[in-house]
DNA sequence: AGAAGTATGATTGTTGACAATCATCCGATC
DNA sequence: GATCGGATGATTGTCAACAATCATACTTCT
C-alpha cells in the first residue's frame, strides 16, 4: 500500500480570488448597485486585509466586465442600458443553444429529465407564490442546462452572463408574471431536450429569449410586466 | 462658439490594463509558451514598474483563463490539451454562429462583401505562399465576422477564444494545408452570409469547425496535416 | 450672480520592505 | 542507494507609506 494513498492534494484559493467571489456575489444580488463606487479602503477595512489584494480582486471583476474602472477616479459597478440587456440575452442564448446542441448529441434523455427536476422546483415556487425562489429556480435551470454540457468555456462565459442578467433584473421593480406560463416555457424546453428534438429546442430557446426581451424592455413597467430569466 | 468645442475627453488606460494587453499579446504569439512561469520581478524589471501593477495585470489574465495561478507557487501560462482544443472550437463556433445570425438579420449583403475582402487577403497570402500572413488573414476573417455583429459580449468572448486558439496553434508544428481549400471554405461562408442563407451559413460554420478539429487532433501530425483557424 | 482661484479632504496608484512559502541542494543517517 | 532533515535562495503575498489626482467647498474678483 502506497503511503500517501487516501490523501488529497491541498489547493488554496488566492486571497484576490476569494475577495472577487465575494464582491461578485454582492454585485449579483444587487447589494452593490449599478453605478455604485467601490472604495478600496472601505472594503479592505470590512474584510480585514490591505488594499493590495482588494485592487487585485477588482482587476478580476473589471476584466469580467462587472466593474468599470476609471483611472484616478475609481471603480464603479457596471450599469447596463437597453442595448446591454439585449446583448446579454443574445449572448446567453448563443451559449445556451450551443450547450443544448452538445447535450442533444449525448444522453439527451437524462439531461432533459434533469432539467425537468429544475422545472419542478419552479413549479413548487409558483405554488407557494415565492417569487424569489422562482427567480432562483429559473436561473438554476439555465445554469444547469449549460453545466451539463461539460464545456468549461461555455460555462465560464455563461457564468458571467448570468451575473450580468441578475444585475439587470435587480433594477426592475414590480415584476409580475403569469408564472404558470413561465414554468410551461421551461418545461417545453426541457421536454424538447429530453426528446432530442434539436430544431424545436433551438426555436424554443430563441422564443424564450425574445419573450424575455419583450417583457424586460417594455417602456413603462406595469403591474403586468413580466419577468423571466 | 463654445469654448471647448473641438476638444475630446481624455481617457487614460490604467497601468495594469496596459501591462495585461502586452502580456496577452506575448502569450498569444507564443513568446511566452504554455506552461511557462511568469516571474513578477522579471516582468517588473523589464517594464520599469513595481510588482504591484504586474500582479494586478496578472489577475486580469487569470480571470480570462490565459494564465493559471497557484497560490505561493506562481503563475503559469495556461496549457491546453485535446479536450481544451475541442472546447475552444465549440465555443468559438457558438459565438460565430450567433454573430452570423445577427448579421443575417441586418445588411447581410455588405457584411458578406466585407468578409470577401478578408478572403481576398487570404488568397493573396496563399499566392505568396506566406503561411504567417495566411494565419493572420484567417484569424482576421473570424474576428471581423464577429465584430460586425456589434455585440460587445460576443466580441469580448470571441477575443479570448481567439487568443486561446492562437496559443493552441502555436504549439503545432508542420502545419501544411492545401491552402486553396482553406480559402474556398472561407469564401463559401462569406458568400452564404452575403446571400443571407442562414441555414447554409450555420452548416458551413459547423463544418468548418469539424474540419479544423479533425485536422488539429490528428494523432500523428504529418506533412499533410491541415490547419485552419 | 457668476466665474475663477485656492485649499482641503478623500481616494487612487505605486513603491519598497518584510514575512511567508516553496523548490532545490547538500549533508547526515540508515 | 534511499530517505530524512536542514539550509539556502527565489519567489510570492501583504502591508504601510508616500505621491498623485480628483471632487468639493470656500473665498475672492468681476
Nearest residue: Cα versus C1' of C16: B50
Which superfamily does A82-216 belong to?
A: GntR ligand-binding domain-like (1.20.120.530)
Percentage of chain B modeled with pLDDT above 90: 75
Q: Burial of A133 by CB count in 10 Å (0-12 exposed, 13-18 middle, 19+ buried)? A: middle
Q: Which A-chain residues 104-123 have CB contacts (< 8 A) with chain B?
A: none
**What proportion of chain A, given as a percentage, has pLDDT over 70?**
88
The distance of B55 to chain A (nearest Cα, Å) reads 7
Nucleotides of C strand lying within 7 Å of any protein CB atom: 10-17, 21-23
Identify the bridge partners of residue A116 per DSSP, sorted by sequence position.
none
Long-range Cβ pairs for the range B9-12 (8 Å, 24+): B11/A70, B11/A71, B12/A71, B12/A72
Cα A16–chain centre separation: 22
d(CA A29, CA A26): 5
Average pLDDT, integer, range B47-70: 96
Q: Give domain A15-77's CATH number out of 3.40.190.10, 3.20.20.10, 3.30.70.980, 1.10.10.10.
A: 1.10.10.10
- The interface pTM score, or ipTM, of the predicted complex is 0.89
Asked whether B196 and B107 are in contact (CB, 8 A), the reply is no
Residue B38's H or E segment, with its range, is strand B37-38
Q: Which of B64, B22, B36, B50 is nearest to B158 (CA)?
A: B64
pLDDT for A67: 97
The answer to whether residues B54 and B44 touch, using CB atoms and an 8 Å cutoff, is yes
Q: Is B52 in contact with A55 (Cβ distance < 8 A)?
A: yes
Q: Which residue bears the cell 465555443?
A: B91
Using the Cβ of A69 and the Cβ atoms of chain B, whether some distance falls under 8 Å is answered with yes
Residue spans of the domains in chain B: they are: 15-77, 82-216
Which residues does A101 contact at the CB level (< 8 Å), separation at least 6? Answer: A198, A202
A110-151 pLDDT tens trace: 999 999 999 999 999 999 988 888 888 999 999 999 999 999
Amino acid at each position: 500500500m502506497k503511503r500517501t494513498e487516501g490523501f488529497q492534494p491541498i489547493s488554496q484559493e488566492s486571497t484576490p480570488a476569494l475577495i472577487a467571489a465575494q464582491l461578485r456575489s454582492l454585485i449579483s444580488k444587487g447589494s452593490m448597485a449599478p453605478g455604485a463606487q467601490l472604495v478600496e479602503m472601505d472594503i479592505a477595512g470590512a474584510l480585514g486585509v490591505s488594499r493590495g489584494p482588494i485592487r487585485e480582486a477588482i482587476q478580476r471583476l473589471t476584466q469580467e466586465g462587472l466593474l468599470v474602472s476609471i483611472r484616478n477616479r475609481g471603480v464603479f459597478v457596471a450599469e447596463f442600458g437597453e442595448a446591454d440587456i439585449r446583448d446579454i440575452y443574445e449572448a446567453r442564448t448563443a451559449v445556451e443553444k450551443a450547450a443544448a446542441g452538445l447535450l442533444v448529441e449525448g444522453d439527451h434523455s437524462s439531461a432533459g429529465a434533469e432539467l425537468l427536476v429544475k422545472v419542478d422546483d419552479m413549479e413548487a415556487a409558483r405554488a407557494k407564490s415565492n417569487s424569489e425562489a422562482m427567480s432562483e429556480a429559473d436561473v438554476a435551470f439555465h445554469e444547469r442546462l449549460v453545466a451539463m454540457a461539460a464545456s468549461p468555456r461555455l460555462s465560464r462565459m455563461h457564468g458571467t452572463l448570468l451575473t450580468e442578467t441578475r444585475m439587470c433584473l435587480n433594477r426592475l421593480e414590480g415584476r409580475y408574471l403569469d408564472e404558470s406560463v413561465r414554468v410551461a416555457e421551461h418545461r417545453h424546453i426541457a421536454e424538447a431536450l429530453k426528446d432530442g428534438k434539436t430544431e424545436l429546442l433551438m426555436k424554443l430557446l430563441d422564443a424564450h429569449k425574445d419573450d424575455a426581451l419583450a417583457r424586460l424592455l417594455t417602456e413603462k413597467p406595469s403591474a403586468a410586466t413580466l419577468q423571466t430569466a
